Structure 1
Amino acid sequence: MLREMSLELQQTKRTLEELKRENLDGKVAFSASFSTSGGGYVGPFSGTTNQVSLIFRHVFVNVGNAYNPNTGSFLSPTRGVYEFKIYLYTHAHTSYPAAAFLVKNGERIVLAYGKSDNYQVNTANAVTLKMEEGDVVNVRPQSGARFYDNENHHCTFSGQLLFTL
């Protein structure tokens, strides 16, 4: 476990150095959705979801390359103030809400939650955060959550650097 954490830390440091080299002009913005093609459900998620990151694979824009569509994580390349948004969608179901946390460095920051027994569910949340270089932001599902996405890109995760500090 300690060896795995050490390797992960080394990889994070290498990625951060790459991001610094690529991001000399200080511009950072990304937006991505679940679906790359077709449609379908993501989830439901059961049990503890503290370590499960939602992966938004269809990238609309990734200026600065700080968002990783393979892991669903954003790695802050520079100290600054960032804005993040999550939009989630699902079909009505008595047991499956559209519910996920925006998480910074493993800490839950905001929750987007919506549930309906009769109608489609759209939910969203946004937050502005002070970030240090190397901070990580991702989206993690609440236990029991299920989402639906298709070529209309209902479920998105976006962020941008507002200004450096």
Structure 2
Amino acid sequence: MDWYTSVFELIDMRSFSNLWFWIALAVLWSSAGHWIMGVPWDMVTRADKAGGQALADLETVVHISAGRILYITHEAGVLMAGFAGFLLTVLVLLGFVYGREFAQAVFLLGAPMGVVWLMSIRTARRIKARGMRGEDLVRALNHHRFLVRLLGMVSIFVTAMWGMYQNMSASALWG
């Protein structure tokens, strides 16, 4: 038995037992919780504490980002929704009907990100429609971040449970 075989016996290279998958999941949700509607969270906290120019900068960046999100949605929303629906359907069929673990893993990463995108569109519409500024804007971003983090916790839990189930069912101990 050579070194290569020993390593691959020790580390199973399937999706849910691969360390890189779990690192990617952690980075994905960490980034989603930090970049709220394309705005870094430290900018929101600085504006909330300091006010003044920091708040004015936040308002400018958020309104630019909200406008960008709404523009993309208006111009390509139907096309993006159709493509995302097609891609998620393919992943569901390959992963959960045909049992391809990689497709399951990609679906469990991608589907919640689609929900985050929809939540961002909803928040952007509220910000633009109400012309939010100051405390109202910070409160809306706080609420959006709370929902993203809540979705992240649920998504990580579901992914961990499904991954453990897949790993246990693939092991010799499970049967």
Same fold (TM > 0.5): no
Quick check: which one's strand share is greater?
1
| Higher RCO structure, 1 or 2 (CA under 8 Å, sep 6+) | 1
Quick check: which one's helix share is greater?
2
* TM-score, normalised relative to structure 2: 0.28
Pick the structure with greater CA Rg: 2
